[in-house]
């Protein structure tokens, strides 16, 4: 029989070497629109560098930056080389830097000018001839949302995104995918009029986190969880995305957006769909994305009164976070002094299908809260206590399966155990699996997996058009109800707290309570 240490060593060895089995991505040229912005410098280029370190970046790779600012290819390459050490998550290896920046070009132009795309075409032709990228092109739209449709249309009309001779052409767009149901439908309609669905990659960086990806493995690769993953055993689900950051200098954008639009149709609904989806027929992009879209489509659409009753919206006021004074949201730069934009939202949602009938899903997200914390907590039903009625047991601890996503990547199980001693006394205990204890997890930006998957054509982690619209279909009744009553029900909470008391009352009326924000 194999010794326990041998088993553990075998598990660890297999886990730590699994990443080496992945193949390098296809030869390609990455074209970044909005190349002079923060996203490129802080996240995209460091992610490309990490892929190069891991041997996953194509051996034949080139990068074209597109921006309005005057620059040259040499200056752009130097700028990226200078900024990489500031934002890299790992030590700098010059060989890996060379892999990323050995072929860099820059195109200056307006995104709605046809000449811009002719310039890009000439650079692509040169690179494909000199570098041998085989015509594979990945267009990354690191631009404000207003640029998505115009750039996508120009890529289609110019022929730059037309697939031929076995070469692939893919387009990546960042969230938000619209600002309401109508705009999301319009964006999808415009893009799908030019591009095929399998060419469009709608990126949500939350899905690049290992713990988020592990939700599917946890559910479907372990025989002990899926049999109890339903209304018979689960009482409710809590999904929390708490941020300690304020709006800082993003007031102009945020005041026109709010917490609901900014976080719920993308980050929180992606987590909900992974938790609540039915098992896909196979581990393939179309099967997984179909199940995610179906479960979002099964969420009950509330009436106006139900939307107001089952939601909480709030703004933060003056307070302290980590002993640092924080001014109220309405005092932030570029925020209207009488703003009714929410910085916090909590929702109660019900899924109308066999698996989740009568199981509430509670969602909350907000800025300027006590701490940064993202977790999914699955509350299992209470065990019968009849057998303990003659013992000094006041109540049993709650049984939770907790999936920690950030800042702690872990999976925890909370259950009851007997406290040592001659009498029967029960106490709540917990077991926690931390990724860092079992795997060599190198620091990352969260974009590595997503960029790599796009380069190899794996769209499992990317939402499809119907999934995007299904999410907005759920959010729209809340937007409509709040629009019709802009000041009614707008609560407040102190910066550095767990949120408004009204959010506590949302659960308290069901006899439940939020888990504390660490």
pLDDT tens digits, residue range 226-274? 999 999 999 999 999 999 999 988 888 899 999 999 999 999 999 999 9
Find out whether 365 and 241 touch, Cβ atoms under 8 Å.
yes
**What integer pLDDT is reported at residue 6 of this predicted model?**
41
For the cut 60, the answer to whether the pLDDT of residue 392 exceeds it is no
For the cut 60, the answer to whether the pLDDT of residue 225 exceeds it is yes
The pLDDT tens digits for 395-429 are 667 899 999 998 888 899 887 777 787 767 677 77
Q: Which residues does 200 contact at the CB level (< 8 Å), separation at least 6?
A: 170, 171, 173, 191, 192, 465
Find out whether 481 and 307 touch, Cβ atoms under 8 Å.
yes
Tell me, yes or no, if 267 is annotated catalytic: yes
Domains of the chain with bracketed CATH:
4-174 (3.40.50.720), 208-508 (3.30.360.10)
For the cut 70, the answer to whether the pLDDT of residue 393 exceeds it is no
Q: Could you tell me which residue, 332 or 484, shows the higher pLDDT?
A: 332
Bridge-based pairing state of the strands 400-406 and 410-418: antiparallel
Q: How far apart are CA 181 and CA 447, in angstroms?
A: 27
Give the whole-number percent of the chain exceeding pLDDT 90: 74
For the cut 50, the answer to whether the pLDDT of residue 439 exceeds it is yes
Q: How far apart are CA 379 and CA 484, in angstroms?
A: 35
The pLDDT tens digits for 20-78 are 468 899 999 999 999 998 999 999 999 999 999 999 999 899 999 999 999 999 999 99
For the cut 80, the answer to whether the pLDDT of residue 389 exceeds it is no
**What integer pLDDT is reported at residue 414 of this predicted model?**
83
Give the whole-number percent of the chain exceeding pLDDT 70: 93
Q: How far apart are CA 276 and CA 358, in angstroms?
A: 13
Q: Which residues does 441 contact at the CB level (< 8 Å), separation at least 6?
A: 210, 409, 435
The percent of the chain in helix, strand and coil, each rounded to the nearest 5, is 40, 20, 40
- 3-state SS, 319-370, equals EEECCEEECCHHHCCCCCCCCCCCCEEEEEEEECCCCCCCCEEEEEEECCEC
Q: How far apart are CA 357 and CA 373, in angstroms?
A: 28
pTM for this model (two decimals): 0.90
Q: Which residue in 154, 205, 267, 513 is the catalytic one?
A: 267
Sign of the alpha-carbon torsion through 267, 271, 276, 282: positive
Find out whether 467 and 292 touch, Cβ atoms under 8 Å.
yes
**What integer pLDDT is reported at residue 390 of this predicted model?**
58
Q: Could you tell me which residue, 441 or 353, shows the higher pLDDT?
A: 353
Cis preceding-peptide flag for 176 (omega within 30 of 0): yes
Exposed/middle/buried for 416, CB within 10 Å: 0-12, 13-18, 19+? middle
For the cut 90, the answer to whether the pLDDT of residue 484 exceeds it is no
Q: What is the DSSP string of 502-518?
A: HHHHHHHTTT--PPPP-
């Amino acid at each position: 029989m194999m010794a326990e240490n041998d088993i553990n060593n075998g598990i660890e060895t297999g886990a730590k070497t699994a990443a080496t089995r992945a193949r390098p991505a296809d030869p390609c040229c990455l074209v970044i629109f909005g190349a002079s912005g923060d996203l490129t410098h802080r996240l995209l280029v460091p992610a490309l560098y990490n892929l190069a370190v891991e041997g996953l970046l194509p051996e034949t790779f080139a990068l074209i930056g597109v921006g309005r600012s005057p620059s040259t290819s040499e200056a752009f390459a130097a700028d990226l080389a200078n900024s990489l050490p500031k934002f890299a998550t790992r030590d700098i290896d010059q060989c890996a830097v060379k892999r990323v920046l050995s072929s860099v070009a820059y195109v200056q132009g307006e995104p709605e000018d046809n000449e811009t795309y002719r310039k890009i075409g000439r650079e692509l032709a040169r690179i494909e001839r000199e570098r041998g990228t085989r015509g594979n092109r990945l267009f990354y739209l690191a631009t404000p949302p207003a640029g998505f449709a115009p750039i996508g249309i120009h890529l289609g009309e110019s022929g730059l995104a037309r697939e031929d001779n076995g070469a692939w052409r893919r387009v990546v767009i960042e969230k938000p995918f619209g600002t309401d149901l109508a705009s999301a439908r319009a964006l999808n309609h415009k893009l799908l009029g030019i591009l095929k669905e399998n060419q469009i990659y709608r990126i949500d960086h939350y899905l690049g986190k290992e713990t988020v990806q592990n939700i599917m493995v946890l559910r479907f690769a372990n025989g002990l969880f899926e049999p109890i993953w339903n209304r018979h055993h689960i009482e409710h689900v809590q999904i929390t995305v708490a941020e300690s950051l304020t709006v800082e200098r993003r007031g102009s954008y945020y005041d026109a957006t709010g917490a609901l639009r900014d976080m719920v149709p993308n980050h929180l609904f992606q987590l909900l769909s992974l938790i609540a989806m039915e098992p896909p027929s196979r581990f393939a992009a179309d099967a997984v994305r179909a199940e995610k879209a179906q479960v979002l489509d099964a969420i009950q659409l509330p009436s106006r009164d139900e939307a107001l009753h089952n939601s909480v919206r709030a703004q933060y006021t003056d307070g302290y976070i980590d002993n640092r004074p924080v001014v109220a949201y309405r005092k932030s730069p570029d925020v209207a002094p009488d703003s009714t934009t929410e910085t916090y939202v909590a929702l109660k949602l019900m899924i109308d299908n066999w698996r989740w009938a009568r199981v509430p899903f509670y969602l909350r997200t907000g800025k300027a809260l006590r701490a940064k914390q993202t977790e999914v907590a699955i509350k299992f039903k209470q065990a019968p206590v009849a057998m303990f009625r003659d013992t000094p047991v006041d109540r049993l601890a709650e049984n939770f399966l907790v999936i920690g996503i950030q800042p702690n990547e872990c999976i925890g199980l909370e259950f009851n155990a007997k406290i040592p001693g001659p009498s029967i006394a029960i106490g709540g205990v917990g077991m926690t699996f931390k990724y860092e204890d079992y795997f060599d997890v190198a620091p990352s930006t969260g974009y590595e997996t997503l960029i790599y998957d796009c380069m190899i054509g794996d769209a499992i982690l990317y939402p499809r058009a119907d999934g995007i619209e299904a999410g907005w279909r759920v959010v729209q009744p809340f937007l409509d109800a709040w629009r019709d009553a802009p000041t009614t029900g707008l609560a407040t909470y102190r910066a550095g707290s767990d949120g408004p008391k009204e959010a506590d009352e949302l659960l308290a009326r069901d006899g439940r309570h939020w888990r504390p924000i660490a």
